[in-house]
Amino acid sequence: MQSAPNLILVGPMGAGKTSIGRRLADRLGLHFVDVDQLVVERAGADIPTLFEHVGEAGFREREHAALASALTGDGQVVSTGGGAVLGAENRRLMRERGFVVHLHVSVEGQLRRVGHDRNRPLLQRPDRERTLRELAAVREPLYAEVADLHHDTEGLSPGRATTELIERLAVHWQRGAIPTANTP
């Protein structure tokens, strides 16, 4: 069983990071932090507006700052954006400050869940399926690299996915501080 101060959710858009994350936090008595929401609150603008004005690179800078700030706390379920794993420093912070769960869903599942969403800038392209496949090709290896646990949400309601994940976490994760070099 691995001990870590936070539970961190990574995965593609539509995997359930926010909906499952809120339920996990509630059921485990932890604080819920949505990194995308932190970015929006700090910027005073929604994500499509940020992408329009500062581009993806500007958004990723803000995402990194929000993630780093969130991970200074303990006792949290932290929902990251789908692209948060793109930054090596983000991956390092996640591994150091939490138990990382990769929530997975297929491209077909993503299309069912978020295929018509207009608030996802990377999906505002003619061929959404192709876009999702290209994103998956780059990001899936990074999710696997950072994850302590892989949890497939395909075909599951958020409630069922949460219940199954809690059962698995009982075996794999224990909330607690990460030992430091000064700790015996």
Which CATH number covers residue 156? 3.40.50.300
| pLDDT (0 to 100) of residue 179 | 44
CB 100 within 8 A of CB 147: yes
Residue 84 domain boundaries: 2-172
Is 182 a member of any domain? no
Structural domain contains residue 181:
no
Check the annotation: does 168 bind a ligand.
Answer: no
Beta bridge partners of 34: 79
Q: How many domains does the chain have?
A: 1
Tell me, yes or no, whether 66 lies in a domain: yes
Q: Tell me the pLDDT band of 183, cut-offs 50, 70 and 90.
A: very low
120 labeled binding residue: yes
Q: Tell me the per-residue pLDDT of 26-82, one tens digit each, with 9 for 90 and over.
A: 999 999 999 999 999 999 998 889 888 999 899 999 999 999 999 999 999 999 999
Residue 183 maps to a domain = no
- Confidence grade of residue 180 (pLDDT, cut at 50, 70, 90): very low
Sheet with 31-34, edge to edge strand ranges: 31-34, 76-79, 6-10, 99-104, 149-152
**Contact by Cβ (8 Å): 54, 63:** no
Any binding-site annotation on 18?
A: yes
pLDDT of residue 112: 87
14 marked ligand binding residue = yes
Classify residue 179: in a domain, yes or no: no
Query: Does residue 37 lie within any of the structural domains?
Result: yes
27 labelled binding-site residue: no
Q: What is the total residue count of the chain?
A: 184
- Is 62 labeled as ligand-binding? no
The answer to whether the annotation marks 87 as part of a ligand binding site is no
Q: Look at residue 184 and tell me if it is in a domain.
A: no
Q: What is the pLDDT of residue 126?
A: 75
Residue 36 assigned to a binding site: yes
60 is known to lie in a ligand binding site: yes
CB burial readout 88-125, b (16+ within 10 A) else e: eebbebbbebbbbbbbbbbbebbbebbeeeeebbbbee
155 is in an annotated binding site: no
Q: Tell me whether residue 178 is in a domain.
A: no
